[in-house]
A and B are shown apart, each in its own frame.
Chain A
């Protein structure tokens, strides 16, 4: 594999990583603060993509669509919290897994009913069309660079919010010592509603931004959801920093693995089995990483809750 291809794949991997981070950030906070497993977080990503695509088509503007998708995703998150998730906080993880699994079934099918099973397209905005020359003779789509930049900017904003504001301080405290925060007079339920809605919006934002490069279809949130879980388990549950590092790691490993492994294996194997084995091992790579991290550091790389 040539250096140019490696560069392109690394950029793709980083871009995938920041999208994963936007999904994982909400998930890890919800998990950390309320000890709540939300399998339905992936459908927030899917809803974001659908809202973005639909609103962009309705308003005729990508930017308006993206802008309006945010409050729509926020509203969807609030509705889910009030209707279902609120009643699951005191329950065991098993109940949470199952109930949120039910929400996935409902929303995946609901999306199919509302928008049809055929994938939607969301056009790339004219401003970000075309490619940019990274090196002589090597074009890279501007839009993908824009996703990367927007993702990094959001991560920075999130860091400022969580690390530098009062609300962020409460969230951090809530992730490590929820009982004490509650005892100090903070309405932890309201705090959680806030975190939850914000997380839903981030996932929706990721979905809407990814919509022009992916096909918007029912069930598109399932794969990012599982990868986001891998990310937060690797990074350490409740840790934003861990989620960021792990997202980029997972994004890079997954993308580079898929691109490079078949070529690497061809050094030892015949082309056809090398391609098959390479593809299989590449799709397993992040799970192997997660199993290895869990086996060595069960609390993840950056555990939020010490001791």
Chain B
């Protein structure tokens, strides 16, 4: 989580309501990650399987080419590494990076 100042009880909507739609981008789930996907760009064949399977839309693609992983949202679930047919993604423990 970012170190944003949390609001007081008078400043927030009642009942836990979230009054704006499309706000999940504000919830940076990258903080949940224990294992980080590390890509071998040499081995990557740009098949986009990881982009299709990523449940958090955390694979960055530009001009149909894989550019990397958005670590702000990647939870480290490892699905991309599991699905990659080229074996180009390795899961590495964050503490060892």
Q: Bound pair: A and B?
A: no
Q: Which residues in A have some Cβ–Cβ distance to B below 8 Å? A: none
Q: Which residues in B have some Cβ–Cβ distance to A below 8 Å? A: none
